[in-house]
Structure 1
C-alpha cells in the first residue's frame, strides 16, 4: 500500500527511514485572529531533525515555541507549510490517523507533569499501555523497566503527591516512553523545577534519547540546559534565527 493511499484512509504507516529525518518542517506559517489584530505566531519556519538527536528549541515567551510543538505533535494545523514526522505528512492524515500517530509514535512531556493524582507512579506509567490494551505481563515488565530507567524503581507504589517535583517529572518521562515512541516532544519540562533538579531531568532526557533510540524536540529557556542538546534552534518573533 502506498503512503498516499494509506494517508487517505486516515492511517499512519511506517516509511523507509533510510536517509530521512525524523521531523521535516517546511515553510510553516500559523496565525491567530484576523486583520490588524492577527498574531503571526510562525512565519515561514523550516528545519529538519535527524533521527536520534536531541534538539533544543529556545526563544522568549511569545516567540512561537509552544505553537511549533503543537503543530509538530499534530495537536494543531498550520495555515501554510508542511510537516512530516517519521515519513508521514501530517496534513494528509485524517483525525483518526493523527490520533494513531500520537498514540503510537509520539510521546509528550509537559511542564505541569500531568500525572493522575489517585494513581501510583507505576499506574501512571502504565496508562498508555492500558489504553492500547497491552498484555498485562508485558505492561508490568515495561513499567518496571521504565521506572528503573528513570531511577524510580523504589517509588513505584507512591502517588504523585508523595513525590518531589523532580520525581514527578521523571514519572512523566517514563509514561511518555511507555508506548516506545519514536519522537519525544517536551514543552519546558524543567520549568517548575529548581536549577539543580532541572539539570538532572535534562540529563535524564539526554540519556533516554541514547538508550531508547528516540528523537527529542525540547523547548527550554534555560541556558544551562541548552548545552546538553545536539543542536539548538532559536525562535524569534515566529522565525528561526539561529541553528
Structure 2
C-alpha cells in the first residue's frame, strides 16, 4: 500500500472556451499523504475549491490525472464516481449542509441509509460517532437547536459515517468564531489519530494551519513552489 492517499498530476481545469475561458487550475501537481491532516491555503480565487471538487470526484479535470486510494478517477463512469464518493470520501462544507427537518442522529445516519446498512448496525455507529464529536447528548436535536460549532460537529460525524479513506473539508470553520473554529480543527486533528482517516482541509486561517501536518499553498491555479511545509 502506497503512503499517498490522493494525487493530482498536471491537473488543469478551465471553464468556458476561447479568449474568455477561465483557467482555474493551471497544471497542479499535488499529493495528500495517508493518515495526515493536510491544509490547503490560498486567497479567494486561487483554485482551492476547484481542486477539492476534482480530488473528491465532484468534477472532472480538463486534463491531467487524479488517483484516489489507488483508483484512477478517469477510469470510472458516473456510477463508479458516485460509489467512490459514497463509500470512500466524506465531505464537510462551510455551510454545514445538514437537513433541517432531521435530528442530529438522523443527519449522521443518512449516508448509511444510502448504503442500506442494517438499522441496528447503523444506530450503533451513529451513537459512536456522536460520542466521538462530543454530541452524545444532542442526538435528538435538529440543526436549528444547535450552535454553529455543534452543527459542524454533526457534519463531521456524518462525513465519517461510512468509514471513508479521505475526508475533504472546504473552509469548515469559515462561519465560526475563532475559538469555535479552532475547536473544530482540533476535532479533525483528533479524527486523524483516532479513526486513521486522511483529512484534506482548505482554510485561510493561519492559526488553524498550525494544527496541520502539512501545508500546501495555491496561487493563481498553481501550487506555490517552496510553500509546501511539514510540522
Do they superpose with TM above 0.5? yes
Equivalent residue for 1:63? Answer: 46
Q: 1:19 offset after TM fit, Å?
A: 2.6
Q: Out of 68, 74, 78, which is 1:85 matched to?
A: 68
Q: Out of 98, 102, 112, which is 1:119 matched to?
A: 102
Q: Which runs of 5+ in 2 are unaligned?
A: none
Q: 1:20 offset after TM fit, Å?
A: 4.1
Aligned equivalents of 2:83 and 2:200: distance in 1? 20
Q: 1:47 offset after TM fit, Å?
A: 1.7
3-state DSSP class of the match of 2:80?
helix
Q: Out of 108, 111, 117, which is 2:91 matched to?
A: 108
Q: 1:39 offset after TM fit, Å?
A: 1.2
Equivalent residue for 1:49? Answer: 32
Q: Out of 195, 217, 220, which is 1:237 matched to?
A: 220
Cα RMSD of the aligned pairs, angstroms, is 0.7
Residues 117 and 159, structure 1, Cα contact 8 Å, conserved in 2: yes
Aligned equivalents of 1:129 and 1:71: distance in 2? 24
Equivalent residue for 1:201? Answer: 184
Equivalent residue for 2:112? Answer: 129
Residues 104 and 181, structure 1, Cα contact 8 Å, conserved in 2: yes
User: Is the aligned partner of 1:33 residue 2:16?
Assistant: yes
Residues 190 and 201, structure 1, Cα contact 8 Å, conserved in 2: yes
Q: Deviations over 1:158-216 (max 9, x none)?
A: 00000000000000000000000000001000000000000000000000011000001
Equivalent residue for 1:228? Answer: 211
Moved more, 194-203 or 40-49: 40-49
Displacement over 2 Å in runs of 4+: none
Residues 20 and 87, structure 1, Cα contact 8 Å, conserved in 2: no
Equivalent residue for 1:12? Answer: none
Aligned equivalents of 1:167 and 1:96: distance in 2? 33
Equivalent residue for 2:4? Answer: 21
Aligned equivalents of 2:171 and 2:96: distance in 1? 10
Q: 1:24 offset after TM fit, Å?
A: 1.1
Aligned equivalents of 1:65 and 1:50: distance in 2? 18
Moved more, 105-114 or 43-52: 43-52
The TM-score, its normalising length taken from structure 2, stands at 0.97
